[in-house]
Amino acid sequence: MTTAASAPADVETPIVERQESPPPAVTPQRRKTDESGPASLPPEGGSHAIVQAAVLPDAPSAREAIAFDEVARSLGAAEACVPLLAQSTGLLRIAALDVVKAETARAGGLLQLLRFLRGDLTPAMTAVSTSAVLQRLMQAVESERRLRGIALTSRSSVADATCSGDETLLVNTLLSLLLMTFAAIEGVANARAAFSVVVNDSGEIGLAVSQDHVAAPAVWSARAGSEELNADSGPALPAVALGAAHRLARLWGGRFRLAGGEHSSILTIWLPTVQHQDVEQLPH
């Protein structure tokens, strides 16, 4: 990582890197799409119709339709696994529970980001703790990490830092950046990703998702700087995640940066810190 940190040496956070047994080879009833390209539209009715009716006041664009299709498929996969939670035991039940947790976290995060990008959601402005963000993020991504067989480490150069924003929106944006990074390195032997919190010399908080295996997919660079969902092709998750990261950072007085090399990528949201005298003026 090329960012500068003015805080003490990294404090490792042993939350997610574990030596557990690999998940079962067969994942029960997981959704049939991935982040490699747009999914085909599902039949009329069912979860897809419910999702669109609940959150779309007008007709969605082509990109939004693909993204809501992904949300509906995640909800359908989670619903299909619910009976296994009562009927199965052992590894099959654990795998089914991971699918339910992973797909509901993905669907809930994507729905909030889509509403944010459409302008249907006004984010709260509160004091946000980086330690709280890190804890919530690691909990939200753990089931997905296990299902994909990817090791994930977290580290912070500060015990805690505070910015102003919407904690849930920030967590869901970082979760989506992690999910698209997982998709990029899935299938790599001993795949590893990292989430880092740093504070640079200017007092900005950097929240970074990184990996050291492959170059950033071309679609990421193609979406660089874009906050809109008006493209008619390409995967849904990177478009939503990158668009939300750019808009969130801009609205909160920060910036979003994509960096990397031939075998690496770093996605960083930079946000200004809130001074101690200002924290009391913000709700927690």
Domain positions in the chain:
11-17+124-279, 46-118
Q: What is the pLDDT of residue 149?
A: 93
CA-to-CA distance for 225 and 247, rounded, in angstroms? 9
Beta strands in the chain (DSSP E): 11-12, 126-129, 151-156, 162-165, 192-199, 204-211, 255-261, 264-272
Which tokens go with 122?
A: 């006004």
**Which CATH class, in words, describes the domain spanning 11-17+124-279?**
alpha beta
Q: How many angstroms separate the Cα of 34 from the Cα of each of 137, 183, 196, 244?
A: 21, 8, 25, 19
Q: What is the pLDDT of residue 74?
A: 78
Separation of CA 245 from chain center: 10
> String of b and e for 55-77 (b: at least 16 CB within 10 Å)?
bbeeebeebbbbbbbbbbbbbbb
Q: What is the pLDDT of residue 16?
A: 42
Burial class (CB in 10 A: 0-12, 13-18, 19+), 264: middle
Low-confidence ranges of the chain (pLDDT < 70): 1-60, 63, 223-234, 276-284
What single DSSP character describes residue 45? S
Q: What is the pLDDT of residue 15?
A: 40
Q: What is the pLDDT of residue 124?
A: 87
Q: What is the pLDDT of residue 14?
A: 40
Q: How many angstroms separate the Cα of 209 from the Cα of each of 11, 186, 238?
A: 17, 15, 13
